[in-house]
Structure 1
Amino acid sequence: MSDKTPRLTAKQVIKQLKDSGFVEVSQTGSHLKLFNPQTRRSAIVPIHTGKVIAIGTLKAIEKQANIKFS
């Protein structure tokens, strides 16, 4: 397996977060806030339809949520 960070869209990131137990809390403009009641962690995902999330932003979301995207 490669340790390379995948190139994902906001829709793909949100799906993986929801599959990990996150739920939508609120949305301000183009930023969606998700919260996991079990781990008490929150993550903010920028939603720009059809665009791939930048690597640095994706890594920051991984750190916030304490999960690894695939």
Structure 2
Amino acid sequence: MTKLPSLTGEQLIRVLKKVGFTIARIKGSHHILIHVDGRRTVVPVHSGEDIGIGLLSQILRDCNMTKDEVRNLL
């Protein structure tokens, strides 16, 4: 199990776009991303703030991605 670097919401959105997610809508600071196969997740974007490890793990679970996949896309 590899350790992930801390990511901001904008960095995480860039990674998710590389695997086929698109921004469906934005409500406040929450970006809702959808994949063509139906997966969806919400990424909070606050300027300069990193996403906590618990929330990051939940977002990766929502997207059916592993930490290794994210590290390879960075």
Structure 1 stretches of 4+ with a deviation exceeding 4 A read none
Structure 2 segments unaligned to the other structure (5+ residues): none
Match of 2:4 in 1: 5
Show structure 1 runs of 5+ residues with no match: none
Q: How much is the aligned-residue C-alpha RMSD, in angstroms?
A: 1.1
Q: Which has the higher helix share?
A: 2
Using the size of structure 2 for normalisation, the TM-score is: 0.84
Within-5 A mapping of 1:1-70: 3-37=2-36, 39-68=37-66, 69-70=70-71
Distance in 2 between residues matched to 1:32 and 1:13, nearest whole Å: 11
Distance in 2, matches of 1:24 and 1:63, equals: 18
Equivalences, count: 68
TM-score by length of 1: 0.89
